[in-house]
Every structure is written in structure tokens, then in C-alpha cells.
A and B are shown apart, each in its own frame.
Chain A
Amino acid sequence: MRGAGFWQLGQSITRRLAQADKKSVARRCYATEADLKKTALFDFHVAHGGKMVPFAGWSMPIQYKDSIMDSTLNCRENGSLFDVAHMCGLSLKGKDSISFLEKLVIADVAGLAPGTGTLTVFTNEKGGAIDDSVITKVTDDHIYLVVNAGCRDKDLAHIGEHMEAFKSKGGDVSWHIHDERSLLALQGPLAAPVLQHLTKEDLSKLYFGEFQILDINGARCFLTRTGYTGEDGFEISVPSENAVDLAKAILEKSEGKVRLTGLGARDSLRLEAGLCLYGNDMEQHITPVEAGLTWAIGKRRRAEGGFLGAEVILKQIADGPTIRRVGLFSPGPPARGHSEIQNEKGENIGEVTSGGFSPCLKKNIAMGYVKSGNHKAGTKVKIVVRGKAYEGAVTKMPFVATKYYKPS
């Protein structure tokens, strides 16, 4: 199978296997199968027909009995429950947590109200993205954040190294990695009504980006009103011993309407919502400005800098970046990662970073990077798939309107 995208790692590769040196391919892809980590819900997934695939060192469900198409549509119509316990939850504690974290991320952490959070980016010295992360200021001396599974080792090494240096200068910060907890994402229009059945707290007062520690289904949970689908919803950090019970309770309370949903539909949903997948749409050499995340650089941070790569990033804000992330529509075959983008003259102007067929829009969508000047919505482009150039156009994102729960 050709094409890119994270699930190439995990999906059935029967067709490729059939054509290549079977043993060597099999060994390369599956050598670590026995070593794959399992979440607390592993048996639950298997019992529910989850197709388990290797993903970032974990065995994760790519889909269940529903097709990816049906799962994607059901999330927007009713709701989805995802096991995202492969992601790494982390707490920073200590009175200098904020000033420490601000050295590593672009967000105005100090400016966040307690109990609120934001999407941010960990940057390197060149202004490139080490990872994206949702961070929450729980209190002035407690930050809770979640980083990508595939970046866990890299991120922890990076944070750890800077933390040692910071502490050696007398800074008060320490971390706790929440390996005792599991993370579930409940997304879609039924997310709030279903979850409300399982807690006494009033969820109508918890808005997008807000955080609360509360009892859900009898267990002490960290609840963030956020997600990766464009829908209203929550990420629930639950003690691992309570994770299966919580998943069962959510499915039961929804009377079967909220469905277990795998990584396959999760990728369709985030793409429709115009959200980046780290490793595809954002990488070490891509800055937050190029990725269209300038909004996530707080005003104070733009004035003061003080994070890794700030010189590069602040200069890009002033001068404009040379490349920009854009959304694309194209007829014909779906454009996948690494498809070349050309201007109307057939000159290379960039590359698709992720793309596919949108189950909701019933047409192909993609995102990628183009040279500045070609980034305006409506710009006609060509996208090369298997050697053939197809007409396409730059378009605004999100592709599907987001429905975050915000105060009216």
C-alpha cells in the first residue's frame, strides 16, 4: 500500500506483504508486537471487536465493527468514546512551574486563569515544533498537560533536561507522570448530556478549554472540556482501575448512541476540523507561525519572547513566514501526505501533509504547506497523485464547522 499517514504503521498490510519480501517486511513491522504497551481498556476493546494495531509503541484500536465512515458520522451526529490513554499526562508542580514552562512553550501560561487551558507548542532553539500539547493551569503552582504518545520519550527528555538546569539555579518545579491514570475522550453532541448523568457537578458551567477535578462515576477525575474532533466534548483522566467502569457507564448512559471509536475515525475527524497531527502536519522544522498557530502565541510572549526559538518565531510574525499551512479541496483521488502541490503553471509550491476523503463532506480534503503568496483561499493549485496532476484549490479550515462549547 502506498501513501502516508500514521495508520500506515498499523493497518493491515496484506497487500504490500503479498508483493514484497514477506519475512523481512513482517519482521520490520511486527517485531515489536509482543512488546506493545496495552492500555487499561485493551481487553475491553478486543471484546468490542476492536481491530488492534501498533501505534506509537501501543496496541490501539484503529476501528471497531463500525466502518470508519460510519464512526466519523456518528461522532458528529451522536458521539464517540475514544481510548487515548497512550497519550502522556503530566503534572508540573511547584511555585515556579509557570515560569519554567514558559521557557519551553509559546503560550502565555501566566495569563491563563486558574482552571483554564490552551493548545500550545513546545519549540526548539530554531523555533521548530517539538510537539503540540494541551496545557492547563490547574492552580498557580500546578500545570497539567498532555503530550503525544509518539513524542513521549523525546518530550520527557527535553522537559527533564531543562528542569534539571532550572532546578540547579534554585527554581522550584517537579513533575509527576500520570501513568496511574488513563485518558478517555468523549466527543460529540451527546458528550455533555451523557457525562452529566455520571457527575453531580454542573457541566453547563464548564466551557471549552476549562478544567475541573471532580468525581465522575465515583472516581476522582481530571476533566478538560477539549478534544480533537471539532465537536464539543471532554478529555477525562481517570484512575486506571476505574477506566473500564467509566467506559461502560458512558456507553450505557448513551443507550448505545455514543460508540467506541478508533484511531481511524479520530484521524478523519481531526482532519475535518483542520487540526494538526504532529509528525504529519507539524514537525521539528515547522514553526508555529508556519503551522497557522500564531494565535496560540500570547500577546505578552510576542512582546517579551523568552521561549526557545523566540527570535526566529518573532521575526516570522513580523516579516511573515515563507511557507504556510493551508487547507485544500481536490476532486479525483484523495491527496495523501507527501503529494506534491503545484501552481497552475505546474511549478512546485509545496506538499500535502495529510489528506483523505471526508466522510461528512463526501469529498476529498487535505492540508499541506505552500509557499506564501499561494496561501489565499480560492488559489487554484494542482495536486499530483500517482504522477497525475489534479485540479485543486486552497480553502479555509476547518473544513467542517467546529462546535466548541463557549459562553454565548
Chain B
Amino acid sequence: MALRVWASKSASYLKISTFNRPFATVVKYLRYADSHEWVKVEGSSATVGITDHAQDHLGDVVYVELPEIGTAVTQGDSFGAVESVKATSDINSPVSGKVVEVNEELNDSPALVNSSPYEKGWIIKVELSKNDELKSLMDSDSYSKFCDEEDAKH
């Protein structure tokens, strides 16, 4: 299970940010959507961001469009956007619920999404309304595999 070993080590590599790595990092205890967002669930609260793989493909993030606090989000639907020098991309919510907090720091420092996608670059916090939705998301192993397959296609 080489992948599993690699994934469990990956958390310690999070601070390393180099371009064109053979593999983007994933974090073991997060869940992942196939549109490249991650979610960290603590009780009924979920923190959402975009993955290392996503930020790597986007390049330098220059703007993050955040939703208003109180906005309802639905699994699979767009709640905001992230803009890099080269592209615009919707951010889809991996979970349904209500936005209770947004990362205001991204207004001044959108590049946190690149430098710290799983920590300082988080985007919103959601109060979960449908806990069972988490089952449809990938774990870190499946997501790593999913990314490798996508990259291989291109």
C-alpha cells in the first residue's frame, strides 16, 4: 500500500510548496470532492477549502470571492470563486448547510490558498445540515488516486 504510506506522511510536507511536484499533497483526516475541494468536519461544523492539487493547477491565486455569512450552500453547488493569474474557477461546496464564517484574511492575502491550502488558506466554515452527505466524498487515498488518474489523462 505505497499510496497509503505516502499519504500518511504527507501532512508533514504541507509547508513545502514547490511547483510541478510529482504528487500534490493530501491530508489523511480530510474528505475530498471530485471538484477538488476538501472538508474537515468537527462535530456539526465543517471547514472547506480547495486542495493542494487544485491550487497547483490554478497557479498564483490573486482573488477569492467569498460568500456572505448566512448563505445557504448545497453539496456540489458553487458558493464562490477563486481567480489565479491565468484562470477563474468556481468553488463548489462539498457539503450542504449554512455559512457561519468566512476567511476574511483571503481578502488581503489570497495567496494563502497557494501557500497553505489546508490550513491558513481555508475558505468557509459551514454548519452542516446533512451529515450523511460525507459518505459521498473521497478519503485521502481515493482522492490521491483520482488526481493521479486525472493528471495522467492530460
Q: Which residues of A contact B (CB under 8 A)?
A: 1-3, 5, 7-8, 11-12, 14-15, 17-19, 26, 30, 49, 51, 62-63, 65-69, 72, 264, 267-268, 332-334, 336, 356-357, 359, 386
Contacts and interface: CB of A to CB of B under 8 A. Distances in A.
A14 B150 contact: yes
A274 to B, nearest CB: 18
Given A2-B90, A65-B19, A357-B63, A333 B83 contact: yes
10 A-B pairs closest in CB distance: A3-B88, A357-B62, A12-B57, A18-B35, A69-B60, A18-B34, A68-B85, A1-B89, A333-B63, A15-B89
12 contacts: A5-B87, A11-B86, A14-B154, A17-B150, A18-B33, A18-B36, A66-B19, A68-B60, A68-B86, A264-B85, A332-B63, A334-B88
A18 B34 CA distance: 6
A333 B88 CA distance: 9
Contacts, number: 90
Interface of B: 19-20, 33-36, 53-54, 57, 59-60, 62-63, 65, 76, 81, 83-90, 92, 150, 153-154
A14 B153 CA distance: 10
A229 to B, nearest CB: 15
A16 to B, nearest CB: 8
A187 B55 CA distance: 29
Contacts of B153: 26, 30
B52 to A, nearest CB: 13
Contacts of B20: 49, 51, 65
Contacts of A1: 87-90
Contacts of A336: 88
Contacts of A12: 57, 154
Contact of B85 (A65, A268, A386): A268
Contacts of A2: 81, 88-90
B59 A333 contact: no
Nearest to A17: B150
Given A15-B54, A17-B150, A333-B81, A67 B59 contact: yes
A360 B63 CA distance: 16
Contacts of B88: 1-3, 333-334, 336
Contacts of B54: 14-15
Contacts of B87: 1, 3, 5, 7-8, 11
